[in-house]
A and B are shown apart, each in its own frame.
Chain A
Amino acid sequence: MIEVNNLHKSFGNLHVLRGITTRIEQGSVVAVIGPSGCGKSTFLRCLNLLEKPTQGEIWIGNTQMTHPQTDVMKVRQKLGMVFQHFHLFPHMTVLENLTYAPMKVKGIPKGQAVAKAEELLARVGLADKAGTYPSRLSGGQKQRVAIARSLAMEPEVMLFDEPTSALDPEMVREVLDVMKALAHTGMTMIVVTHEMGFAREVADRICFFDQGQIAEDAAPAEFFRQPKSERAKQFLEKML
């Protein structure tokens, strides 16, 4: 489903990703964890080319994202992305946030887009907020809307970039619950997170990043019981 070969990314002299190679199967949920500055977010942003890789190949299905002739706009639609700071469109209502891209980008008729949006809002428990502007929502509600907005484009993969890091503690639960429900539908998910409980419980795989490389790639049970590397051990001691 997703294949990454020897991915490198530098910002000037800063070599953030130093050769990432991995395969992610359809329907799997991968938790990407690691200390700050290890390249987790950059890795995620490279997958849908929000950052342009310096070197290496990314394949999404049969499309090579990194090929110069690839229609990036087109393939980006296959990858939904949820950000730490939500990035809802503040001048649009919740419903408009969900219907804008499907109508504009995919040309879906308004009635159909609205029906789909309402269904998604119900799924994330916000059916009553359709006409509200984002500024009137709590952080947890904003993030759930952001998840619904991405799902409205019917992506094949969902990327989550620290989706709960900007939330007040009491709102983390509601967002994780929505993500858990999404995982149960068989959605392929890559989640950069500091929520070890979520990683342990929901993910099929843990990728532990360290200094721009995947230092460990293991099943959660294995990783959390017995991390192989010294760095992972230290990291877990701090987190748990």
Chain B
Amino acid sequence: MDFFAPIADRIPFIIQGIPATLQFTVLSVLFGFIWGTLLALLKISAIRPLGLLADVYTSIFRGTPLIVQISLVYYASPGLTDMLGLRPIDALTAGVLVFSLNSGAYVSETIRGGILAVDKGQRDAAMSLGIPYGAMMIDIIAPQALKNILPALLNETINVLKDTAQVSVIGVLEVLRRADVVAKEKFVFFQPYLIAAFIYYVMIMTMTLIASTYERRLRRSD
């Protein structure tokens, strides 16, 4: 372990970035999922203008780089908050906000596809039993759609987790930013970034494991 000796005392410092990274991921995926569900419902709604609005939204967030969106919200928003007499948004809020808005755009397409992929007959059956739209969507359509899109959602969560590394540009002390700090402190670069990569990998493998266990449980009706 001589290889890591130059930064050994700072490894715990990098590891301490895990909570920040996870916090970003969990909050962003959660809000992104809620927001994405809402967008998906707009997209499949019978009211065309709402669907169009959601489509435009999606195209903007998918059509611009995430790091540009982060920079816009964090560095450009103080002008706006100033004008409104509000406090400027802090880095964490800005990060979560952008990730949620961005992830919502991607997830909405996944959810829309998942809902449309559920056999139309399920709707017919639910309607013929007099089940109202809301209950039908929640109890009949959503569980089947969710099962179909679970792999895609896991993928999105992994993407978000990896993308959180980009908030290091706005100074949040997550895993990558901490590796940065150590690298510049000790003038060794390979080891801290290797540690960071390893931490990301372990987090993602853990997530994959949890998700596949959950997926197996969902598939018990097959």
Contacts and interface: CB of A to CB of B under 8 A. Distances in A.
Contacts of A50: 124, 127-128
B171 interface: no
A208 B140 CA distance: 36
A200 interface: no
Given A83-B121, A83-B124, A89-B125, A77 B130 contact: yes
B147 A149 contact: no
Contact of A73 (B125, B130, B139): B130
B172 to A, nearest CB: 40
Nearest to A134: B221
A77 B129 contact: yes
A193 to B, nearest CB: 18
Give the dominant DSSP class at A's interface.
Answer: mixed
Contacts of B65: none
Contact of A100 (B124, B139, B220, B221): B139
B130 A74 contact: yes
Of A79, A100, A135, the most chain B CB neighbours within 10 A belong to A100
Interface in A85-104: 85, 87-92, 100-101, 104
B122 A89 contact: yes
A104 B139 contact: yes
Given A73-B130, A104-B135, A105-B131, A83 B221 contact: no
A180 interface: no
B128 A150 contact: yes
A77 B127 CA distance: 9
Of A45, A91, A101, A153, the most chain B CB neighbours within 10 A belong to A91
A80 interface: yes
- Interface size class on chain B is 20 to 34
Contact of A76 (B122, B127, B144, B220): B127
Contacts of A105: 129-132, 135
Contacts of A85: 121
Contacts of B130: 73-74, 76-77, 101, 105, 153
B129 A101 contact: yes
B65 to A, nearest CB: 39
A79 B144 contact: no
A60 to B, nearest CB: 13
A87 B144 CA distance: 13
Contacts of B144: 90-91
B129 A91 contact: no
A81 B147 contact: no
Given A87-B119, A87-B125, 6 more contacts: A45-B124, A81-B124, A89-B122, A89-B125, A90-B221, A146-B125
Interface of A: 45, 48, 50, 73-74, 76-77, 79-81, 83, 85, 87-92, 100-101, 104-105, 133-135, 146, 149-150, 153, 159
8 contacts: A74-B130, A77-B130, A79-B128, A80-B128, A87-B125, A89-B125, A133-B222, A146-B125
